[in-house]
Amino acid sequence: MPRIALATYDPGAEPGADTDLPVLVRALTDAGAEAEARYWDDPAVDWGGYDLVVIRSTWDYSWRAAEFAAWVERTGTLTRLANPAPVVRWNTDKRYLGELAAAGVPTVPTRYLAPGEPARLPAGHEFVIKPTSGAGARFAARYTPEEHDTAARQLARMHAEGFTAMVQPYMPGIDVGGERALQFFGGRLLHASRKGAVLSPGTPYDADKVAHPGLERWKPTDAELALAEKALASVPGSAGLLYARVDVVDGDDGEPRLMELELVEPNLFLWLHPDSLPRVTEAILTAAGDPA
């Protein structure tokens, strides 16, 4: 009987946001595993006592990046960790987009502004500023060229807190075709979803945002699948991936572009795709049965 831990976060007094977690624990238990959800930052957990630790919903990690990175490295030395520590480390810094673009993956054009660098902002189109380490649209905002002063204040705040900023053109195709998320599990496409635009004009960068507005099931196009497969094949250590989410949007030419890869703790949206639960369960059990 494999012992499997699903790593999550402690929501404190708030209800837990990962509604898929108890469903997945129950499915793994029914399939014969000893499965349980554990807080990633609980010092009492013996991670080495598990055959597999799956990072599922550690959704506070970007606020505690150094602590989370240390946990990932330590856990990866004690047992099998999915995804593997080197992949997680690579994916927590969105400067990986530059690496993928250099490898020929069509991406949303991105510039990076580290602390101390001047705030060079676009003058001829809408643009987005967000941190290279973040989740849930944290510290992300959309600006017009007339809002440079407000954007510069956001950059100053981010730089003061040690964040490197990403500057991207706003992709107007999001307002028409939305953003598509292609989920892979066990090396195969699991399912896909589409959501509306997260960043509304005038929404402050430090405001709470709805991370997945209007989420619905989606059938990916051949072009989207080809982009996703090319992006995943370009990930260092891609052979060790248990799960992945590939976010795509339409470019000005109507062709899909990579918005980002989520290889750390993607929401699986099993409540929207309940038919995917058996495949997720099977893939986790297979991973737990492999020799560490």
pLDDT in tens, 236-280: 999 999 999 999 999 989 999 999 999 999 999 999 999 999 999
Q: Cα separation of 280 and 287, whole Å? A: 11
pLDDT tier at 118, thresholds 50, 70, 90: confident
pLDDT in tens, 224-240: 999 999 999 999 999 99
Q: Cα separation of 181 and 196, whole Å? A: 11
Supply the pLDDT for residue 292: 36
Q: Cα separation of 128 and 79, whole Å? A: 39
Helical (H) or strand (E) element with 184: strand 179-185
Supply the pLDDT for residue 204: 73
pLDDT in tens, 126-179: 999 999 886 655 688 999 999 999 999 999 999 998 889 999 999 998 988 999
Q: Cα separation of 257 and 227, whole Å? A: 8
Cβ pair 116, 179 in contact under 8 A = no
The three-state DSSP-derived secondary structure of 252-274 is CCCCEEEEEEECCCCCCCCCCCH
Percent of the chain exceeding pLDDT 90 equals 76
Q: Cα separation of 199 and 207, whole Å? A: 10
pLDDT tier at 14, thresholds 50, 70, 90: confident
